[in-house]
Structure 1
Amino acid sequence: MKAHETSIEGLLRIELDLQPNADGWFEESFHRDKLAAAGIPPYDVVQHNVTYVERAGILRGIHAEPWDKYLSPSAGRVFVAIVELHTGQVETFELGPGDALYVPRGLGNSFCTTAPHTVYNFLVNEPWSPERIAVNPFDPELAIPWPSLELSYTERDAASPSLAEVRTQQA
């Protein structure tokens, strides 16, 4: 496992060891000691959530929750957009098996499936709660270059406030 810093403070991209075999592949997607040695802050997983998405083009909004996240697809591919809410800085990633992200609490994260039959894992260090900040994934200020697919998203995500409105609400 190797961790790479990104342009957003605290956000780390992780290369996992994907080992091909005659049947497909094997990966150790989460190993606390190896991740700590690679530079991931101490991280005690309390909940593991899995999302299965049948189609490419499914987009889930920009949500910032009060917990750290470790994100990794185990099948398919995802385009991920991470937003630093104070500065509006955006960093995007294309992830597949063999990739992971460590996303510190407070950063907004969103994803769009780019392949059918995608399985996306979310390991979090606090139990899920409805507390979150939501930002419109189509906010022109963010100018996220979403994949050129027919996108499907919830009205709730599309109706989320712009980043400027979120900043005003928090002030």
Structure 2
Amino acid sequence: MNIHETTIPGVLRIELEVKANPDGWFKENFHRERLAALGLEVVQHNVAYFATPAIVRGIHAEPWDKYLSPSSGRVFVALADLRANDTFGRVETFELGTSDALFVPRGVGNSFCTVAAHTTYNFLVNELWSPERITVDLFDPELHIDWPYERARLSYTERDAGNPPLAELRTQLRV
């Protein structure tokens, strides 16, 4: 496991060792002690499967830390710092395959877009799920997210389409 800091404080990009074998590959995706050393005591593991590319979700900042990693396919991930601090609104993007993971602290908005068919995305979290979250518009021009597909091709939920702009959250947080 190789860990790299990013431009958003607390967000870590993690390279996982994937070992090829005659049947495919093997990776150690979860190791309690290693994740605990990052501050993540896992209490829930969620798995989402997406059959097609161009499915997008987010931007959501929940009240828990997350460890994200695909076990099949690829995803484009856009993170936005939504915490009331001097990096508020900072965005960083990544493309993750099976040998990649991200540690995302609470308060940092997470969004992703599938870029391969048959993508399985794992979310490990350190709090049980709750509906509480902060959201921001996926397509807010202030964020400058260069999605891998044109908006007309993307599939997203009505709920995500109605997220407020970053300026509204800035006003609420008085940043």
Q: TM-score, normalised by structure 2?
A: 0.92
Counterpart for residue 22 of structure 1: 22
Instruction: Report Cα offsets for 1:98-118 as digits up to 9, x if no partner.
Output: 100000000000000000110
How many pairs were matched up? 168
Q: In structure 2, what is the Cα distance between the partners aligned to 1:34 and 1:161?
A: 36
Rounded to whole Å, the distance in 2 between the matches of 1:131 and 1:92 is 24
Residue 43 of structure 1, CA deviation: 1.6
Give the corresponding residue for 2:156.
153
SS in 2 for 1:169: helix
> Which residue of 2 is the match for residue 128 of structure 1?
129
SS, match of residue 47 in structure 2: strand
Q: In the alignment, which of 67, 72, 75 is matched to residue 75 of structure 1?
A: 72
The answer to whether the 8 Å contact 1:13/1:100 transfers is yes
Offset at residue 94 of structure 1 (A): 0.1
Question: Structure 1 runs of 4+ off > 4 angstroms?
Answer: none
> CA–CA distance in 1 between the matches of 2:45 and 2:32?
14
The question of whether the paired residues in 1 share the 8 Å contact of 2:77 and 2:94 is answered with yes
- Higher mean displacement: 147-156 or 92-101: 147-156
Equivalent in the alignment of 1:114: 115
Q: CA deviation at 1:35?
A: 4.4
Provide the alpha-carbon RMSD of the alignment. Answer: 1.2
Unaligned runs of 5+ in 2: none
**1:164: how far off?**
0.8
Aligned counterparts, 1:22-101, within 5 A: 22-35=22-35, 40-85=37-82, 86=84, 87-101=88-102
8 Å Cα contact 2:35-2:41 kept in structure 1: no
Q: For 1:117 and 1:166, how far apart are their aligned partners in 2?
A: 34
Deviation readout 1:38-69 (Å, 9 max, x if unpaired): xx523210000000000100000200001000
SS of alignment partner, residue 9 of structure 2: coil
Matched AA of 2:154: L
Q: Provide the secondary structure at the position in 2 that maps to 1:147.
A: coil
Partner of residue 164 from structure 1, selected from 146, 163, 167? 167
Confirm or deny: 8 A CA contact 1:61 1:158 kept in the other structure.
no
Aligned-residue sequence identity (percent) comes to 67
What is the alpha-carbon distance in structure 1 between the residues aligned to residue 64 and residue 127 of structure 2?
6
